[in-house]
Amino acid sequence: MDKIKSLGKTGSLALGLIVGVLMTLSTTFLISRRARRDTSSKSARLHSSEIAVNKIVNGVEGIIGNTPMIKIRSLSEATGCEILAKAEFLNPGGSPKDRVALSMIQMAEEQGLIRPNTGCVIFEGTSGSTGISIAMIARAKGYSAWIVMPDDQAQEKYQLLEKLGAHVEKTRPASIVDENQYVNLARRQASEFNSGEESNADHNSDGVKRRGFFANQFENLSNFQAHCNGTGPEIYKQTDGKINAFVAGAGTGGTIGGVSSYLKPLIPELKAEGSRKRHQVDTVIEGVGLNRLTKNFDLAREFIDDAIKVTDREAVEMARYLVREEGLFIGSSSAMNCVGAVRVARMLGPGHRIVTILCDSGQRHLTKFWNDDYLIKHNILQQQTPPIDVLSGSERNDSSNDLSRIM
Ligand SMILES: Cc1ncc(COP(=O)(O)O)c(C=O)c1O
């Protein structure tokens, strides 16, 4: 943390923070140590930051990405820093996972793994957002979606998936070593589909082989590339490259990995910070947190510097603060990111610019994160406890370095 404090107000400094959660939520900081890796693949053309809103775009894919950057006035005034948030919840599928789903599907098509309108099925293990994005794009492009999810996520996500026509399979939350963990189950379902064990399902009516494709957002580097080729350049353009900190929670690590690998070579002395949650089951915050090192997170690892902690309660209070002060109705990981942004603003001091991500809307979290009865029942809120000051920067002012513990 000393390193971060010592950054002072140097204008050229860029600092990125990934906010995530450990057992009771924590964040890990990243610092770039080498130049951007070569991501010069075909997917570079997948997401253009030049898409003009006053043009006609081709289908739902045309409105993915190119999201606005919002100045969060109340947090900016309170901290003396400019706190900016990229409104990823405005993607058509409601999260940055639209970029990732499109990138993975396009890459699979380029590699000849799937073909539209031939009965191909896309399988994915997901806490929800990626499944929703895949289901949406699958519909648009002529595929089916088979989504495996832990059974403890907000009900809205299952409902949305069903409305989008996905096959939804719920499984109990489990460790990655468990063969029925949601990612393992999705992988197995895809493999069984391909081995023809699905009854009479191996050919479509034209005699063309139906294929199952396991998207695998955790290990598939099309995820990283979607952010390196899309989100990162958009942030750079929207800020003219003037960024002191980037704050984002890590689920797969695709966002922090891709964005920081794009920004760091362009912004001298760029620093990035972030975290991952160790046990997703221990928190009300959905979409972030890992209990293993994934390929996408591994790419981000070289940027990680330090860690801070964010509690469930801080995220809940931040979400309520932002709706009260800004009319911004955000989901749990977005609220956590904003806690992280305030924390970094307090560490850096006034005069800095911090960018974070608003991943999804509160509408996707009505039954858990935005449900007081649920929060009280799970001891995240107490009926009598006065609200904490979300602007102070920390519920418990714990700036211990968790990096060595989690990496
Ligand atoms: C709502 C939400 N927030 C944050 C994240 C984390 O993003 P990433 O997987 O790029 O680390 C996810 C990932 O699924 C998500 O669904």
Q: How far is the CA of 348 from the centre of ligand 1 (A)?
A: 25
pLDDT tops 50 at residue 190: yes
Q: Name the nearest CA neighbour of 228 among 405, 2, 46, 19.
A: 46
CB 31 within 8 A of CB 303: yes
Atom of ligand 1 nearest to the CA of 95: 1
Residues paired with 83 in a beta bridge: 354
Of 108-122, 155-169, 248-262, 351-365, the one with minimum mean pLDDT is 248-262
C-alpha of residue 288 to centroid of ligand 1, in Å: 5
Q: Are 260 and 28 in contact (CB under 8 A)?
A: no
CA distance 218 to 347: 31
Quote the CA–CA distance of 328 and 337 in Å, as a whole number.
Answer: 14
Q: What does the block give as tokens for 244?
A: 């002191």
pLDDT reported for residue 234: 98
Check residue 244 and give left, alpha or beta (phi > 0: left; psi -120 to 50: alpha): alpha
**What percent of the chain clears pLDDT 90, i.e. is strictly above it?**
57
Query: Which residue out of 18, 126, 129, 228 has the highest number of ligand 1 atoms within 8 Å of its CB and is therefore the one to mutate?
Result: 129
- HSE-CB at 382 with a 13 A cutoff on CA atoms is 4
The CA distance from 244 to 83, in Å, is 10
Give me the mean pLDDT over the 75-87 stretch: 97
CB 272 within 8 A of CB 264: yes
How remote is the CA of residue 251 from the centroid of ligand 1, in Å?
A: 5
CA 143 – ligand 1 centroid, Å: 23
The answer to whether residue 4 scores a pLDDT higher than 60 is no
Instruction: Note whether 277 and 25 are within 8 A (CB).
Output: yes
Distance 45 CA to ligand 1 centre (A): 22
Helices 254-266 and 232-239 cross at an angle (nearest 10°) of: 50
Q: Which residues contact 307 (CB under 8 A, 6 or more apart)?
A: 22, 26, 27, 28, 29, 273, 275, 400, 401, 402, 403, 406
Lining residues, ligand 1, CB within 6 Å: 95, 97, 129-130, 249-255, 287-288, 331, 333, 359-360
SS (H, E, C) 292-317: CCCHHHHHHHCCEEEEECCCHHHHHH
Higher pLDDT, 309 or 204: 309
Contact 23, 278 (CB under 8 A): yes
C-beta of residue 79 within 8 angstroms of C-beta of residue 391 = yes
DSSP 8-class letter at 385: P
Window from 160-169, 303-312, 319-328 with minimum mean pLDDT? 303-312
User: What is the C-alpha to C-alpha distance for residues 152 and 402, in angstroms, rounded to an integer?
Assistant: 27
Residue 219 to residues 1, 275, 280, Cα–Cα distance (Å): 30, 18, 18
- C-alpha 47/C-alpha 104 separation (Å) is 12
How far from the centroid of its chain's Cα atoms is residue 338's Cα? Answer: 14
Dist. CA 399–CA 58, nearest whole Å = 47
Please provide the size of the chain in residues. Answer: 407
Alpha carbon of 382 to ligand 1 centroid (Å): 28
Q: Which residues contact 316 (CB under 8 A, 6 or more apart)?
A: 284, 335, 369, 375, 380, 381
CA–centroid distance, 359 to ligand 1, in Å, is 7
Short-list 268, 213, 190, 223, CA closest to 99: 223
Q: What pLDDT score was predicted for residue 52?
A: 58
Most confident segment among 113-117, 174-178, 205-209, 302-306: 113-117
Ligand 1 pocket check: which of 255, 284, 330 to mutate, most ligand atoms within 8 Å of Cβ?
255
The whole-angstrom separation of Cα 89 and Cα 257 is 19
Quickly tell me which residue has 């002072």 as its tokens. 8
Question: Residue 285: which pLDDT band, with cuts at 50, 70 and 90?
Answer: confident
Least reliable range by pLDDT among 76-90, 122-136, 311-325, 390-404: 390-404
Average pLDDT over residues 198-211: 62
Closest atom, ligand 1, to C-alpha of 333: 3
| CA count, 13 A, side-chain hemisphere, 184 | 11
Q: Are 156 and 185 in contact (CB under 8 A)?
A: no
Contact 250, 288 (CB under 8 A): yes
